[in-house]
Amino acid sequence: MKVEIKNWHAVAQWRWDTGVSEANGMDDDEGDVCGICRVPYEGCCPACKIPGDDCPLIWGECTHVFHMHCLLKWIGTTASKQQCPMDRRTWGQSVPIFSSNTLSSFCSYC
């Protein structure tokens, strides 16, 4: 017997590729949350309504990941002293470690 697939209507979820999960076997169902607003990465920051490309993440050199809007707001305050809120190292945006190394579309939202 030969099975030929004519059409497959599948369902999938998208996840942010935070670089850590699958490699470290940490890919649990809960997903990780933004260290500032405590909302999952796949959710959106408190100011946004639509998740995904409209409320992207930002990757720090210190490997901490936040909702971009949350972090920018934090950096915008004087109290932040331009530091990462998690480890108080000076914040620097890193080029994320993607599983695929194409970076073409990354800059579209910076």
Partner 1 sequence: MATDALRAQVAAKWQESFSRLNQNEAGIVGLLNFSQAWNIARECMRPRGLDEPDPQTQYDKATFQASFELLNKCRRLPILLETFLDDMRNHFPVIKQEVDQYTLEYQNTLDTTHILNLVFRLLQWYNKWIPRQELGTTLQSAFVLSFQTHMFSILSPAFVRGFQALCASTLPPTDPDAIAPEPNVKMWEAFETLGLLDRYENIIASVGYEHIEAHVIATCSGQWSESMLPELRKWMTDKVVPWMLLMYGRNATTADDAKAMLQNVGSRFDFHMAKTLCDLRTKEIFDIIIDFPDSSGALQDLKECLLRVDQRAALVHTLRKANHKRLLHPGADTRLILSQYVATIKCLRIVDPPGVLLFKVADPIRRYLRERPDTIRCIVSNLVGDDDGGDSLVDESEPIQPLQQSELEDYTDPNWEPEPVDAGPDFRANKPSDVISTLVSIYDSKDLFVKELQVLLAQRLLAITDDNAEKVEKERRNIEILKIRFGEAALQVCEVMLKDMTDSKRIDGHVQSQKTSIIHPTIISKHFWPMLEATEIVMPGQFRALQEEYAKEFSTFKPDKKLRWLPHLGTVHLELHLEDRTIETDVPPLEAAFIELFSEQDVWSMDDLIAKVGSSVDKAAALKALLTWVDMGILKEEGENTFKLLEVAETSTPREARTVSNAAMELPSAPSVQQQQAEQMRVYWKFIEGMLKNLGSLSIDRIQAMLKLAPGYDQTVEQLGIFMEAARQEDLVDVYDGLWKLTPK
CB contact at 8 A, 58 and 67 = yes
Which residue in 33, 20, 23 sits closest to 62, CA to CA? 20
User: Of the two residues 19 and 85, which places its CB atom closer to partner 1 in the complex?
Assistant: 19
User: Of the two residues 89 and 98, which places its CB atom closer to partner 1 in the complex?
Assistant: 98
User: Of the two residues 78 and 99, which places its CB atom closer to partner 1 in the complex?
Assistant: 99
Shortest spacing between CB 27 and partner 1, in angstroms: 8
Shortest spacing between CB 33 and partner 1, in angstroms: 10
Which residue in 15, 13, 73 sits closest to 40, CA to CA? 15
